[in-house]
Structure 1
């Protein structure tokens, strides 16, 4: 399978000795007398260039630059530099140097604290330090290291290209990137869960919950786009958009967790993003083929076309479907407000297959005819009835479905839980029947379980025959005939009357009719049938007759 992680590892070439860092820069003679105000943890950051800050060109800064500023532009606006510090940190600036004169006041304390918060080195430079002299001194060191860094970059790209050609899959590529870059890597996609490299996959979710929450496409693309960003929990990341063609938008994200992200790391991510795009296209192609096999497998399974246990296991294996053996399962029908066309229904099923991960493991989603079916493993055995565990899983699944599909009125119809695979066709038939009965009879509830239909399931099972016809001719057909002759919506009024538990005032409000009009209609219905709504027996017979007409309409009705 293309999605299986591989254990192949690529060791990164140590490049700490081929970098010119903030610490190295402080040591040059030109900066004798400079003071490091804060940012001890960031002194190992590599410097690639020197730039000058005038307060207006923050967007022109590049990762790895040492930004030099005089203090006088900020004397009249002390908050100006404070506002710049977070932006410079997000842009990947290696350090900030503020050139102060002998008569200049110290750098404001709140600026120092803000730099400390972002781990950004902040230096107080001698007043006679010139930008041109410092730039020459830095670039002499940087250019001497450029050849070795280009060689390292080329080695990394060659290694990742080899992984791509060997078909080691998304996880194999991410794990190799983590080995090369010494930091975790993730792929975040629009409307999809992220793919994570090894160190993020093996950790307990609670340890990385803030990071996992922030690794959503909307937040990453909005915060980083193509560059550095600070995510929730003060995680600094570097993100690059992955070329996807017609596919969903995606970003390759390098997380600054094990060490500082260097300029060569950011450049490596830029070059690796197109390679990841090729692998994502391969994954989509595999998903498309597997999805077609899975759809057909689930459809045949739920409609009873798979009769052999060996055939069932073989079909499940071919389509990449992992169904735990010995675990009870039930079938659910998703009742949506709108009926989507077949292609739209397939796309919805594919999306849910990739996102329904919290409700239960091993959930299968597939269109069956014009309906959307879900096969749900139930964590504990429940025999032939609907267990509390099945109800709990269904409730959790309903909440997740409503959130993913944006349908707050969505309902679920559940069949019974069965302990063996061959029981699923019966469970699906029961789910379909639960939907039919619930819609016809106006049953309430977000989840309608077949086992809780009560008398409605019995009415549904009554076959056509003389007894049924006689019953309907006694209590239902006369009202229908009267309505056709202009009798005043008698059937509709009685149905609403029973739905309102015999409350005439509420019935009139629901039907937007005068109270006396409802009374007149009820009296006329009683007169036609020769019954009394005050008699519990007559009331029950009439109520059942109306429900029976709805469930199994008479040909003469």
Structure 2
């Protein structure tokens, strides 16, 4: 996965407050002989706590911003566990690890040092003579001198965000203010929904921000019961805090370490701001729920032909938040599932697709109609000529299908597509054609991932032929004798004739497709002509045979 470049500090970002860093720690006289084995790039991170651990499991008392020290006695018999110990410390937001050597280890395991470097955790080798309790006292004296100023900064931050929320500026304004305050982008991530991004990510180039958007889905951030650091697939370190909510869907506030190192005061600020983001998120969802109901009804009425006048369409489109403008080329699409989805599930899928930021299309609308999921796909600027126009539309629809399969997690999806229209009052016809395309495809057994009404060809006509004596006589004349011969061991005559027509009468290609010898195919074709009393060189009789095969595919097993 591509990685976004780390930016310099943005304008308006937080000023550098007074802090006690890992670099300051290494400057303490007591540590003049200590060695930094890994994590050189992270020595400017702030230390807000210090503790001594003599167990191999990281307990809940370990907090973000902590400097952890150990004699590593818990690992003397199992040195391999030190690597996982380091990973757990990083998840907790620990800023540095000090290990006393020469007591239980002459030197630290190389895999532990490598893991610390990979995770960006400063790993400090302490000399055997260092008294850990003395070091704790020195560090805590330095930290306590800074706590008062940090509390004042935290209080000012919370007051500022509260005033912004009371002003009714909205969720994006709240996230933008958090980015200015913390110096790094912020995102509010709702389960199975798109993330709300602060301005630093909204203003980024699409190719730059897309990998991060993929990672910032709730599937990647995970259902975290408490705050903590994690590493995204694009190697970005983030801090996650769950937003308190009574909703069924979980949400979390995410701070992305993009412009500068995340400081302990930043994580504490994010923890305190999560309830404020939760209030604004609840407000946004309430508005979307109301708008969604209006939009659902508008789309259902539009696609079923209940909106008659253009003026009525424009008024209702504006009220419901429809983003498709009059005159935009569009088409109706019916989503075909391998297993039909229940109505309530379709409503949730439609709401999600309307809010999802898809790469292949913009402005697509989705709505459940009965037991079907309907899409209204704006096609943008299409070529004027017919062939190029059709090919451009098909290419876009194929890209949409691939993305829908990823987003919805169903690789069996098929799309049934109506004709392209440019007037709002023509959408009902396009939707009817999409439904007809599905009917014909199911009855006729048509294969393919996307079935367009315009490409149904002769099937759209043959599908309408009613059953009757004439139809049965036609099939009995041209199809039934070959079926009977095949049942008696005639040599795959129906299959050979179908492939012969698919290959446009090319015997050599037919033999290759059927993995049969050229002479075998010639023999079968001669046998077909003898049984039916026809000549494949006669265009009229050849057409009769071809039509009989098509009708036979639509109505298999006709009694003879």
Q: Which TM-score band (shorter chain)?
A: 0.7 to 0.9
Alignment match, 1:421 = 424
1:252 alignment partner, SS class? strand
Contact 1:223/1:231 (8 A) holds in 2: no
Question: C-alpha displacement at 1:456, in angstroms?
Answer: 3.0
1:502 alignment partner, SS class? helix
Q: For residues 52 and 102 of structure 1, do their structure 2 counterparts lie closer, same or farther at Cα, with a shift above 3 Å needed? A: closer
Equivalences for 1:342-491 in 2 at 5 Å?
342-355=343-356, 357-379=358-380, 380-381=382-383, 387-459=390-462, 472-476=468-472
Matched, 1:125 2:121: no
Q: Supply the distance in 1 between the matched residues of 2:379 and 2:408 (Cα, whole angstroms).
A: 23
1:390 alignment partner, SS class? helix
Alignment match, 1:486 = none
Q: Supply the distance in 1 between the matched residues of 2:553 and 2:80 (Cα, whole angstroms).
A: 74
Q: Supply the distance in 2 between the matched residues of 1:394 and 1:375 (Cα, whole angstroms).
A: 12
1:16 alignment partner, SS class? coil
Question: C-alpha displacement at 1:374, in angstroms?
Answer: 0.8
Alignment match, 1:68 = 69
TM-score normalized by the length of structure 2: 0.77
1:58 alignment partner, SS class? coil
Question: C-alpha displacement at 1:239, in angstroms?
Answer: 0.7
TM-score normalized by the length of structure 1: 0.78
Contact 1:100/1:124 (8 A) holds in 2: yes
CA displacement, residues 354-374 of structure 1 (integer Å, 9 cap, x when unaligned): 236123111111122332211
CA displacement, residues 270-297 of structure 1 (integer Å, 9 cap, x when unaligned): 1222222222222221121111111122
Q: Supply the distance in 2 between the matched residues of 1:400 and 1:103 (Cα, whole angstroms).
A: 54
Question: C-alpha displacement at 1:71, in angstroms?
Answer: 6.6
Q: For residues 534 and 255 of structure 1, do their structure 2 counterparts lie closer, same or farther at Cα, with a shift above 3 Å needed? A: farther
Alignment match, 1:25 = 25
Equivalences for 1:88-487 in 2 at 5 Å?
88-100=89-101, 105=106, 111-221=112-222, 226-355=227-356, 357-379=358-380, 380-381=382-383, 387-459=390-462, 472-476=468-472
Segments of 5+ residues of structure 1 without an aligned counterpart are: 1-8, 463-467, 481-489, 507-531, 551-557
Question: C-alpha displacement at 1:140, in angstroms?
Answer: 1.8
Q: Supply the distance in 1 between the matched residues of 2:219 and 2:79 (Cα, whole angstroms).
A: 34
Contact 1:226/1:239 (8 A) holds in 2: yes
Segments of 5+ residues of structure 2 without an aligned counterpart are: 1-9, 499-530, 535-540
CA displacement, residues 130-162 of structure 1 (integer Å, 9 cap, x when unaligned): 222222222222222222212221222222222
1:413 alignment partner, SS class? strand
Question: C-alpha displacement at 1:434, in angstroms?
Answer: 1.8
Q: Supply the distance in 2 between the matched residues of 1:342 and 1:212 (Cα, whole angstroms).
A: 29
Q: For residues 381 and 422 of structure 1, do their structure 2 counterparts lie closer, same or farther at Cα, with a shift above 3 Å needed? A: farther
Q: Supply the distance in 2 between the matched residues of 1:206 and 1:10 (Cα, whole angstroms).
A: 23
Q: Supply the distance in 1 between the matched residues of 2:95 and 2:411 (Cα, whole angstroms).
A: 48
Q: For residues 53 and 210 of structure 1, do their structure 2 counterparts lie closer, same or farther at Cα, with a shift above 3 Å needed? A: farther
Say how many residue pairs are matched.
501
CA displacement, residues 525-556 of structure 1 (integer Å, 9 cap, x when unaligned): xxxxxxx8555477577668778989xxxxxx
CA displacement, residues 310-362 of structure 1 (integer Å, 9 cap, x when unaligned): 33222222111211454311111122234444433322211222236123111
